[in-house]
A = this chain, B = another copy of it.
Amino acid sequence: MKEYSIGQMSRHTGVKATTIRYYENRGLIPSPARTRGGQRRYDEAALERLAFLRHARELGFGLDDIADLMALAEAPSEDCEPAHEIARKQLAAVDRRLTILAQLREELVRMADADDPGHAGKCRVIEVLGDHRLCIGAHDLPDDASQML
């Protein structure tokens, strides 16, 4: 039965050691066995859980959602609807972010491409940022837009 130090876990999954300890604190992964000296020793199952966790994080799931998903994975009922629900929620969030970013890109392109280098008159970047009416579209954001950027 293979054993892994926290550093080996880190190398296998790409999750930093400090982050692994943070996940343990948060209760997302169980406390592993320890050596006599107090260092963590993980088994294969722990490695898989961490890989799952990392993958879900890459996909933008929040830690609370991931906790739910892991609970579902550990005790699989025949109803996987809750898991799909979480995934759909995440997809919707990603779609919102994509929409905003696309609009944002449009405007940045207009700003960055304004080719009047060193010109004495107006600078487009500052002009565009200063006057909202010059925007292509109303890119009004929902109240919590900052989280999406």
Interface positions of A (Cβ within 8 A of B): 14, 48, 51-52, 55-60, 69, 72-73, 76, 78-81, 83-84, 86-88, 90-91, 94-95, 97-98, 101-102, 104-105, 107-109, 111-112, 114, 117-120, 122-126, 129-130, 132, 139-141, 145-146, 149
A53 (CB) vs chain B CBs: closest residue: B129
Chain B residues, Cβ within 8 Å of A117: 80-81, 84
**Chain A binding surface SS class:** helix
Decide if A79 touches B129 in the complex (CB within 8 Å): no
A149 (CB) vs chain B CBs: closest residue: B60
**Max count, chain B CB within 10 A of own CB: residue among A95, A123, A146:** A123
Q: Which of B73, B79, B108 contacts A91 (CB 8 A)?
A: B108
Q: Which of B80, B112, B141 contacts A126 (CB 8 A)?
A: B80
Decide if A87 touches B130 in the complex (CB within 8 Å): no
Decide if A59 touches B126 in the complex (CB within 8 Å): no
Decide if B57 touches A146 in the complex (CB within 8 Å): yes
